[in-house]
Amino acid sequence: MTPPENASSQPPASRRIAEALRSAIESGELRAGDKLPSERTLAEQYGAARNTAREAVRLLSEQGLVTARHGRGVFVREPRRLFRFGSDRYSLKNRATGLTPFRLEAQRQGKEARIDVPSILRETPPTDVAERLNVSPDERSVVHRENHYFADDEPVQIVSTFVRWAEAQGTLLMQAKSGPNGIYGRLEELGHVMTSIRDEIIARMPTPHEAEVLQLPSGVPVLEVLHTSLDQHGEPFEVSRYVHRADLTGLKYELPVQ
C-alpha cells in the first residue's frame, strides 16, 4: 500500500511540540526560569495525547533547554557560563595572586570557588596520558590527583592531573593542599617552568561517574580538554584531563597567528 503523500516527511507530534517550545525559548517568549505549561495543558494546546506532550518535554530536557524540579514542574534552564581561559589561564603574571587558575577565574567572575580532592594515588597511567607524559604505560609511573571543582557550590568540572611519580613522591604534590600557586608552583620548584601548552578538545556524553559527580541533567554533554604542560626545554611535565559541564563552561582562546 502506498503511504499518503508527504506522510513520511512529517515529524512525530512530540517533535513538533518540542520544536514549537524550543522556538518560544529561543525567541524569548519563554524566558529562563519560566515554568512550562503542564503536560495536560500542552496536550490540549496541541491536540495531542499526554504521553506525546511528555515525550516533547523529554526531548527538550535532553537538549539541555529545560529542567524538572521535583514537585514543582518543568522550567526553562538559565544559561550560565564559567569560562576557562587559554593562555591567560596559565600566565605567569597571575602568580602574584597566589591563587590557583580556577580560583582566580572564579574570583574574576564573582563566584565562590571550592575544590575537593577525593583521591591522590600512584597509578598506571591511561595510554593517552603515558604517551604525552613520556612514561611507561605498564608501570605505576604517575601520581593521579582527582579534583572536583565547584562554583557557588555547583559542580562545574572534574580534573584528573597526572605527574611523574619519580618527581612527585615525597613532595606537596602528594597532598591535597599543595601550597601557593597550586601544583604549578611545586612543579616550578622541581625545575619545570611552563612555557607552552597543548590542549586537545572534544565534546562527548558523560560517563556514569561524571554524570553523578557533575549532577548533570539528562542530555547535557561534557567538554573534555586533554591538557599537556611543556617546560622551558620543550619537555612535557604534567598532563590533566578536564571534564567540564558543557552547559556551565565555555572555552576562550586568544592565540598569535604564526
Query: Each residue of 138-165: pLDDT tens digit?
Result: 999 999 999 999 988 889 899 999 999 9
At 1, is the pLDDT very low, low, confident or very high (cuts 50, 70, 90)?
A: very low
Backbone angles phi, psi at 49, to 5 degrees: -80, 160
SS3 89: helix
Domain boundary among 76, 101, 127: 76
Residue 8 lies in a domain: no
Q: pLDDT tens across 231-252, in order?
A: 999 999 999 999 998 877 878 7
Residues 144 and 196 in one domain: yes
4-44 tens-digit pLDDT: 445 456 788 899 999 999 999 888 899 988 999 999 999 99
Quote the CA–CA distance of 228 and 236 in Å, as a whole number. Answer: 7
- What is the rounded distance in angstroms from the CA atom of residue 162 to the CA atom of residue 128? 11
SS3 189: helix
Q: Looking at the structure, do residues 71 and 104 belong to the same domain, yes or no?
A: no
CATH of the domain at 23: 1.10.10.10
Smallest CA-to-CA distance from 123 within 98, 138, 108, 141 is with 141
**CA–CA distance, 104 with 83 (Å, rounded to integer):** 11
41 lies in the same domain as 160: no
| Region of poorest pLDDT, from 54-68, 74-88, 127-141, 182-196 | 74-88
Classified as helix, coil or strand, 159 is strand
DSSP output for 49-63: -HHHHHHHHHHHHHT
Same domain, 87 and 173: yes
Cell of 121: 594515588
Residue-level pLDDT at 82: 61
Whether residues 104 and 27 fall in one domain: no
- The band of 85, judged by pLDDT with boundaries at 50, 70 and 90, is low
Q: Are residues 70 and 186 in the same domain?
A: no
Q: Which domain holds residue 205?
A: 82-252
Secondary structure tally for the chain: helices H, strands E: 8, 10
Whether the per-residue pLDDT at 186 is higher than 70: the answer is: yes
Average pLDDT value for residue range 191-209: 94
Evaluate if residue 3 carries a pLDDT over 60. Answer: no
Asked whether residue 50 falls in the same domain as residue 133, the answer is no
Q: How confident is the model at residue 49 (pLDDT cuts 50, 70, 90)?
A: very high
- Helix or strand or coil: residue 39? helix
CB-based contacts of 180, cutoff 8 Å, min separation 6: 98
pLDDT of the residue at 167: 96
**pLDDT surpasses 70 at 113:** yes
Q: What is the domain count for the chain?
A: 2
Q: What is the CATH number of the domain that holds 151?
A: 3.40.1410.10
- pLDDT of 169 > 60? The answer is yes
Backbone angles phi, psi at 92, to 5 degrees: -65, -25
- Mean pLDDT for the chain overall: 87
* 235 inside domain: yes
**Does residue 50 sit in the same domain as residue 111?**
no
In a domain, residue 241? The reply is yes
Residues 60 and 86 in one domain: no
